[in-house]
Amino acid sequence: MAPDDQTARHPAPDAPSSSEGDFVIRVRGLVTRFGPQVLHDGLDLDVRRGEVLGIVGGSGTGKSVLLKEILGLIHPAAGRVEMLGHDMERLSDSERISVQARTGVLFQDGALFSSMTVAENVMVPLKEHTDLPPQLTSEIARVKIGMAGLPPNAGRKYPSELSGGMRKRAGLARALALDPDILFLDEPTAGLDPIGAAAFDQLIRNLQRSLGLTVCMVTHDLDSLTSICDRIAVLIDKKIRVGTLAELLDDPHPWIHEYFHGPRGRAARRAES
Ligand SMILES: Nc1ncnc2c1ncn2[C@@H]1O[C@H](COP(=O)(O)OP(=O)(O)OP(=O)(O)O)[C@@H](O)[C@H]1O
């Protein structure tokens, strides 16, 4: 589907404010405050086109908030967030929606509408962002449900009739509805058994390769980090350190060392090798 078809409802923003180049996301000097609580203080991050980037950090360090700021859903106290070459703070509301439509998001619990079938859920972004005829939206939903690894009859089911793993796949099908450039995943394997989690990881990797997606994934799952992430961003001391797994294994910061060299980190690396 051509991007122009998808964004018929929302005017595309003018040409990117800077060259997208190899980076689809650039965060500079990000400061995030909630009252007296400072979550990010001068945080920088670059996300390369076509990579799978894992984002880790202690509980409450602001990983989910960072995703929402990149998406333009929360406004930082200071700093600059550029996505797909656009400064998110400088866009009008409709332009921001148009850039957001080039992303897909899978929230932790799938965030499906319980009163809608899976197919109807997948059609929501298509109805919101395009003027495609109903027959075409339902055909696209059918294709996306298949791409997410669900059987054809899953489209007629309600979220309450699905297992946790199937609900995540349904959320993924919805995240893929608009053929996104960037896929954001918030703890995609949380709550899945190890076999289900490994299958979901492989699905993400296969989709990323076949569709040329960039994937930004918040995760606590060391198996996902070792098996599918090209680089890992660690949110620590209110900033981000980013590197390959090999680079982070050599990082002397105590939290990073404990995270990757602790028993779980060692087990995940053994399983991968
Ligand atoms: N809209 C908001 N208003 C006020 N505080 C918020 C808001 N959103 C998040 N917070 C606070 O910011 C902190 C970081 O939240 P966030 O959900 O980003 O953490 P996280 O790193 O994703 O944690 P976890 O790994 O436990 O999911 C938390 O203390 C949370 O209560």
Closest C-alpha to ligand 1, atom 12 = 62
- State the distance from the centre of ligand 1 to the C-alpha of 164, rounded, in angstroms: 23
- State the distance from the centre of ligand 1 to the C-alpha of 66, rounded, in angstroms: 9
How confident is the model at residue 43, as a pLDDT? 97
Residue 77: φ, ψ to 5°: -70, -35
- State the distance from the centre of ligand 1 to the C-alpha of 231, rounded, in angstroms: 23
Residue type, 164: G
How confident is the model at residue 3, as a pLDDT? 38
pLDDT per position as a tens digit, 100-115: 889 999 987 668 899 9
Which stretches of the chain score pLDDT less than 70?
A: 1-21, 109-110, 263-266, 269, 272-273
How confident is the model at residue 6, as a pLDDT? 41
Please give the model's pTM, rounded to 2 decimal places: 0.88
Closest C-alpha to ligand 1, atom 5 = 34
In this predicted complex, what is the ipTM?
0.96
Closest C-alpha to ligand 1, atom 26 = 59
Ligand 1 binding residues, C-beta < 6 A: 34, 39, 57, 59-65
Ligand 1, closest atom to CA 61? 21
Closest C-alpha to ligand 1, atom 25 = 59
